[in-house]
Amino acid sequence: MARIFALILTVIVVTACSHNQATTQVYQQAVAMPDSFSADAAMAVLEEGGNAVDAAIAAQFVLAVTLPEAGNIGGGGFMTIAFEGENDFLDYREMAPANAHRDMYLDNEGNVKPYESLFGAKASGIPGTVAGMWAAHKKYGSLPWERLLEPAVSLAEEGFIVPKKLSDNIAWYIEKTEEQGLKGNFAHYFSQAKANTRFTQPELATTLKHIQAQGKDGFYRGEVAEKIVSFMQNNGGLITHDDLQAYHAVWRAPLTYQWQDYTLVTAPPPSSGGVAVAQWIGMLDAYTTMATPSTSLKHNSLDYIHVMSEIGKRVFADRAQYMGDPDFVNVPVNALIAPDYIDARAKAINLHEISVTEDIKPGLKESEDTTHFSILDRWGNAVANTTTINLTFGSGVVVSGAGFLLNDEMDDFSAKPGVPNFFGAVGGEANAIAPYKRMLSSMTPTLVKEGNDVVLVTGSPGGTTIISSVTQSLLNALLFDMTAEDAVNAPRFHHQLLPKDTIRMHDGFLDSDVQQLKQRGYVIDQRRFGDLHLIKRTHQGLEAASEASGRGKSMVR
Ligand code: GLY
């Protein structure tokens, strides 16, 4: 019945399209995507009668062609799904190869070797994206697999006009890696991608055609697998044929969390993001309820920034201690988001003082890059998908002959307890390297439901800052009742325990507030982060928005 009603609406609805802007329409279907190519491909699938998962699969492969900074077939990700009233979660995170071991990035003195987990073949986990998309299609796909690969194949084969932001990123990356003396084949593959000219990727097109014709086996077996393994052997990497064949995507129960009148449906471990977002909004609620007289914190006010930062300290202390791959370690998810625990953590927050970093312990006893997209189809099914090769352009090396970049996701493990990774996150035993283990992630593709209706789809890139972007986007949209456009563009801030008392902030906060935060003792790190792509359902219909600083495109039709 819902489907018939939605189909009738298709006929009467007016089309709207925007670049980087929220769009309000009678509700229909919406996409909020990190570039125009993926937006057009996803919307075309929806208009052809495909569902949100079909559109997500087409978009994922397009991004592997047009957004090489983070879109990928050489990486992994998470997909949060609402489908015909049920919630689901697909974990297609990379896994450590069988020959990986906990000290593999340490030198003889036990120090972490610079760049080994960040650059080159040895930095790569076993890619999960193709297995993930294949699993998603098997369970939910309605259009043929071959059809969903078409846009990516043609963009790789016939080329696409390079956006300036992409050519700028390529130039920046080539310069930076040369400066650091890091040698690879990135420039050979990408230096011809110049702004406003057509860029073709024939090797990638051939790889995508193998996947199109043979599904998952087109990547993990046969010619493409052979190229990956020989690239590994020639460049000091660890991934073997056995590793490729051992890779499997996993269907997990999504993490659900009741917040006010809503149900959050979000990423469970091996993401730290779902637990962290639940803790963050839970402690904010607990704090405002317990404060006497009851305090309501104005959006982006000084007190709001301080209280949210204090919560961030506690969230990241727990993350460092407890979080890892649930197939290897016991992650106490229920305890970490239990109301009593949230209340107790919130109670210790002082509105006027910064807590001492060293005193914030885990509370239980006992280029950054990446990319995200949000899709809502005409039947109300929704996909929030975050995917990554870790840093911008991943490990910086392309599988020779196969034309795709490999991830440097091994850096998301804790190479040594207490030593921060690229994102400044520390970890311990729970996130130590082990064969076939999945590295801890911050990716947080999130849906919010009111009853059975999806009212928000959100997510962002940005390493550990993803957690702040997602938390603040959902507070902006639902607590502060902003439009989708305002929710993604309002200035954000991030506190993650370490570096000590440091708040990373977008531009756009009042100078006087920034000065007062400094006087309170905070160190202000003024650097933008994140790239939100958000869909919001209002009584008037759907709104979709992509953050204005990126190259995203959102549409409601
Ligand atoms: N590579 C970033 C993350 O998964 O959190």
Number of Cβ within a 10 Å radius of residue 356:
10
Cβ-based neighbours of 367, under 8 Å, separated by 6 or more: 69, 391, 392
pLDDT, position 426 = 82
DSSP tag of 416: S
Q: Which of 395, 412, 531 has the most ligand 1 atoms within 8 A of CB, as the residue to mutate?
A: 412
Token pair recorded at residue 405: 């970049």
Q: Is the CB of 25 under 6 A from ligand 1?
A: no
Q: Calculate ∠ Cα 282-283-286, nearest 5°.
A: 90
- The response to whether 441 counts as a known ligand-binding position is yes
The residue contributing the CA closest to ligand 1 atom 4 is: 441
In this predicted structure, what is the pLDDT of residue 294?
A: 57
Whole-number Å distance between alpha carbons of 433 and 440: 10
> Does the C-beta of 441 come closer than 6 Å to ligand 1?
yes
b/e code 210-244 from CB counts within 10 Å (16+ = b): bbbebbbbbbbeeebbebbbebbeebebbbbeebb
Q: Is 387 in the pocket of ligand 1 (CB under 6 A)?
A: no
pLDDT given at position 358: 83
Cβ neighbours of residue 48 closer than 8 Å, sequence gap 6 or more: 143
From the alpha carbon of 409, which atom of ligand 1 is closest? 1
Cis peptide leading into residue 332 (ω within 30°): no
Quick one: tokens of 448?
């919010």
- 39 with 553: CB under 8 angstroms? yes
User: 């125009």: which residue's tokens?
Assistant: 36
* Ligand 1 touching residue 445 (CB < 6 A): no
pLDDT at 128: 98
412 is in an annotated binding site: yes
Answer left, alpha or beta for residue 487, where phi above 0 means left and psi between -120 and 50 means alpha.
alpha
Active site amino acids? 370
Cα angle value 212/218/221 (rounded, 5°): 175
Question: Which residues share a beta bridge with 375?
Answer: 31, 383
Judge residue 519's burial from the number of C-beta atoms within 10 Å of its C-beta, 0-12 exposed, 13-18 middle, 19 or more buried: exposed
pLDDT score for 421: 83
Q: What is the pLDDT tens value at each position of the chain, 557 positions in all? A: 333 333 333 322 333 444 444 444 445 899 999 999 999 999 999 999 999 999 999 999 999 999 999 999 999 999 999 999 999 999 999 999 999 999 999 999 999 998 999 999 999 999 999 999 999 999 999 999 999 999 999 999 999 999 999 999 999 999 999 999 999 999 999 999 999 999 999 999 999 999 999 999 999 999 999 999 999 999 999 999 999 999 999 999 999 999 999 999 999 999 999 999 999 999 999 999 987 655 679 999 999 999 999 999 999 999 999 999 999 999 999 999 999 999 999 999 999 999 988 888 777 644 667 999 999 999 999 999 999 999 999 999 999 999 999 999 999 999 988 888 888 888 888 999 999 999 999 999 999 999 999 999 999 999 999 999 999 999 999 999 999 999 999 999 999 988 999 999 999 999 999 999 999 999 999 999 999 999 999 999 999 999 999 999 999 99
Q: Are 102 and 435 in contact (CB under 8 A)?
A: no
Which pLDDT value is given to residue 233? 98
Ligand 1 centroid–CA 519 distance in Å is 33
The predicted structure's pLDDT at residue 336: 97
Residue carrying the six token digits 């885990």: 362
Q: Considering all CA atoms of the chain, what is the largest pairwise distance in Å, rounded to the nearest integer?
A: 69
Distance 510 CA to ligand 1 centre (A): 31
Paired strand residues for 83: 86
Ligand 1 contacts CB of residue 388 (under 6 A): yes
Alpha helices in 67-180 (DSSP H): 129-140, 145-157, 164-179
Q: Is 296 annotated as a binding residue?
A: no
- Report whether residue 443 contacts ligand 1, using a CB cutoff of 6 Å: yes
